[in-house]
Amino acid sequence: MMKKNLGLIVNPIAGMGGKVGLKGSDGKEILQKAISLGAVPQSPARAILALEKLKPIRDRIQIITYPGQMGENEAKSLGFHTQVIGSIVEGQTTPEDTENAAKEMLKRKVDLILFAGGDGTARNLYNAVGDQIPVLGIPAGVKIHSGVYANTPANAGNLAAKFLSEDRKIRLKEAEVMDIDEEAFRQDRVSARLYGYMKIPFERNLVQSAKAGSAPGEAASVESIASHVVQNMEKDCLYIIGPGTTTRGIMEMLGLPNTLLGVDVVCNKQLVASDANEEMLLKIVDGRKAKIVVTIIGGQGYIFGRGNQQISHKVLRSVGIENILVISTESKLLGLKGSPLLVDTGDLEMDKKLAGYKKVITGLNKYIAYKVAY
């Protein structure tokens, strides 16, 4: 049986800005700031989670990858037949390295490019290969608006394995490559752009949708949700307010400044911390009663693991999953078309604890029980 060729590209810096509250890792200055704040690489471990799912067909595939931290390390650590191409400067990888890797893989006519990164990495792939070859993303970035990603690293591996296996046909679908202006993003302005489409293997329950914006006319619903949360705030309890336009309604009702795309902390209806990162949150909640308020990402359904990595599995353990408030307008829930809410904290044990049915606040004294999956 002829072996299938799988291209593997790992962007080693993807996602490093998340937990430290930088909302991305594009650009040398931001990367250095992330490192100075204690950020560590996220994508290698997430790439391994995907590759683990390919081990049952390991003898039927050959991985073609770039050196060291761009894929070689992960592939060889799991015993895959590996061909290393190209060259990099270890510790100084660039977007051009990603594009060059993809171009080389296109020349070699690999059957699929599996890549770990965020929206910036997806753009690099699109610049290099367009829709000429199937690709699939392992979600590892801070912001993932694009539709070319599996919904979890494990499902990226599951879908790649199905696609490369000869005993099952997986159809290809065109999916959006989206990205935003990170500098505007850090200033609480969302400037998103559609760059094009790439072809991905598709199974509905394994692939995430592109992020959808808020529907018009939702202001009254957001105000009703905010009223419920504010009226039920407990004395001396910390409230960690996650990013988003729905959660912003809470801060506006309290008359407090808010970080639209960051995490704020409130106690006794006063601002305790603004744009807090993981380390700050862990210090603030230590030994104190706290609650976490998060909303869903429209069109995707994520409540943890996309754009709010500051609220990490460590923060969730410290606060307690029983102290999580999920808020959403009914229109956003309807927009999911029955798909579950999703969690991808990077910690499988925590994801399992979060799974099940969760009460979602949809208005003043209004709730919907909705399934959470991982």
Q: What number is the average pLDDT over the span 4-28?
A: 75
User: Is 214 part of any domain?
Assistant: no
Are 328 and 184 in a shared domain? no
What is the rounded CA–CA span in Å between residue 164 and residue 159? Answer: 9
Per-residue pLDDT tens over the stretch 72-90: 999 999 999 999 999 999 8
Are 181 and 283 in a shared domain? no
What is the rounded CA–CA span in Å between residue 35 and residue 107? Answer: 35
AA letter at 309: Q
Instruction: Look at residue 190 and tell me whether its pLDDT is greater than 60.
Output: no
Residue 185, domain extent:
4-201
Looking at the DSSP bridge assignments, the partners of residue 241 are: 264, 293
Instruction: Look at residue 19 and tell me whether its pLDDT is greater than 80.
Output: no
Phi and psi of 131, rounded to 5°?
-110, 25
Are 33 and 163 in a shared domain? yes
User: Is 26 part of any domain?
Assistant: yes
What is the rounded CA–CA span in Å between residue 35 and residue 17? Answer: 8
Q: Give the lowest-confidence range in 63-67, 163-167, 344-348.
A: 163-167
Task: Say what the pLDDT of residue 7 is.
Answer: 98
What is the rounded CA–CA span in Å between residue 236 and residue 172? Answer: 53
Are 116 and 143 in a shared domain? yes
Per-residue pLDDT tens over the stretch 327-338: 999 999 999 999
Task: Say what the pLDDT of residue 249 is.
Answer: 95
84: left (phi over 0), alpha (psi -120 to 50) or beta: beta
Per-residue pLDDT tens over the stretch 277-317: 999 999 999 999 999 999 999 889 999 999 899 999 999 99
User: Is 223 part of any domain?
Assistant: yes
Tell me how far CA of residue 28 lies from CA of 81, 121, 141, 235, 285, in angstroms.
33, 15, 16, 43, 32
Are 192 and 338 in a shared domain? no
Task: Say what the pLDDT of residue 194 is.
Answer: 85
Task: Say what the pLDDT of residue 322 is.
Answer: 97
Per-residue pLDDT tens over the stretch 198-236: 999 999 889 987 766 656 568 899 999 999 999 999 999
User: Is 210 part of any domain?
Assistant: no
Sign of the alpha-carbon dihedral angle for 23, 152, 44, 147? negative
Are 70 and 148 in a shared domain? yes
Are 148 and 251 in a shared domain? no
The DSSP secondary structure of 114-165, one letter per residue, reads EEEE-HHHHHHHHHHHTTSS-EEEEE-SS----SSBBSSHHHHHHHHHHHH-
Are 107 and 244 in a shared domain? no
Are 196 and 225 in a shared domain? no
Task: Say what the pLDDT of residue 61 is.
Answer: 96
Are 190 and 231 in a shared domain? no
What is the rounded CA–CA span in Å between residue 34 and residue 214? Answer: 30
Of the pLDDT bands very low, low, confident and very high (cuts 50, 70, 90), residue 261 is confident
User: Is 296 part of any domain?
Assistant: yes
- Of 155, 175, 201, which marks where a domain is finished? 201
| Total of domains in the chain | 2
Task: Say what the pLDDT of residue 354 is.
Answer: 97
Are 289 and 148 in a shared domain? no
Q: Dihedral through CA 165, CA 341, CA 306, CA 186, nearest 10?
A: 150
CATH number of domain containing 88? 3.40.50
User: Is 310 part of any domain?
Assistant: yes
Mean pLDDT for the chain overall: 90
Task: Say what the pLDDT of residue 17 is.
Answer: 61
163: left (phi over 0), alpha (psi -120 to 50) or beta: alpha
User: Is 209 part of any domain?
Assistant: no
Q: What number is the average pLDDT over the span 133-150?
A: 91
- Of 135, 170, 201, which marks where a domain is finished? 201
Task: Say what the pLDDT of residue 193 is.
Answer: 79
Q: Kindly give the interhelix angle for 95-107 and 119-129, rounded to the nearest 10 degrees.
A: 40
User: Is 213 part of any domain?
Assistant: no
Are 36 and 105 in a shared domain? yes
Task: Say what the pLDDT of residue 182 is.
Answer: 54
Task: Say what the pLDDT of residue 8 is.
Answer: 98
Structure-model confidence comparison of residues 340 and 28, the more confident one: 340
Per-residue pLDDT tens over the stretch 20-66: 555 555 556 655 655 566 667 789 999 999 999 999 999 999 999 99
Q: Dihedral through CA 116, CA 121, CA 125, CA 130, nearest 10?
A: 120
Of the pLDDT bands very low, low, confident and very high (cuts 50, 70, 90), residue 188 is low
Q: What number is the average pLDDT over the span 245-260?
A: 93
What is the rounded CA–CA span in Å between residue 256 and residue 286? Answer: 24
